Amino acid sequence: MAKAVKLSEELIAVARREAKVMYRSIGAQVEYWAKIGREVEASGALGPAGVRKLLHGAGSVQDLSEVNDALYVNLLGQELESLDGSDKRLLDDLRAGGHPIAAMDERGKLVVEKGRPRRKKR
């Protein structure tokens, strides 16, 4: 059963922008953030100071400890597993960034599309 909750205008504005980028509804975006937060808290892998640092944009994935790396990879894996292939925009973004893309062909064989390095703007 859905419940109405009060959220700040600032949070709604950020969720609206992020939801548009991620092709989610505002509600789905807030629920997604809540799920990640719940998993981070439950794992104990990232203490309050680390959470604050990341929330303020002061951290990066490269700064994560081994425990936090595992959490990040797990969350990223869950997000990737949720993709069904119908939205080709993510693949286009990955290609534009020069990232390799791995997929299974119709015979079940692994095929890797090598990434093209980004060209520097002159």
Note the pLDDT of residue 39: 79
Contact 102, 111 (CB under 8 A): yes
CB 52 within 8 A of CB 60: no
- Higher pLDDT residue, 54 or 35? 35
Output the CA torsion 51→23→9→44 (10° steps).
Answer: -20
51-99 residue pLDDT tens: 667 666 776 656 666 656 666 677 767 776 666 667 677 777 777 777 7
- 44 in helix, strand or coil? coil
Q: pLDDT at residue 32 above 70?
A: yes
Weakest-pLDDT range from 10-24, 50-64, 98-112: 50-64
pLDDT at 7 over 80: yes
User: Comparing 106 with 86, which gets the higher pLDDT?
Assistant: 106
pTM of the complete model: 0.44
Which position has the higher pLDDT, 23 or 122?
Answer: 23
Position 26 scores a pLDDT of: 93
Q: What is the dihedral of CA 96, 117, 84, 64, to 10 degrees?
A: -110
pLDDT at 66: 61
Residue-level pLDDT at 121: 58
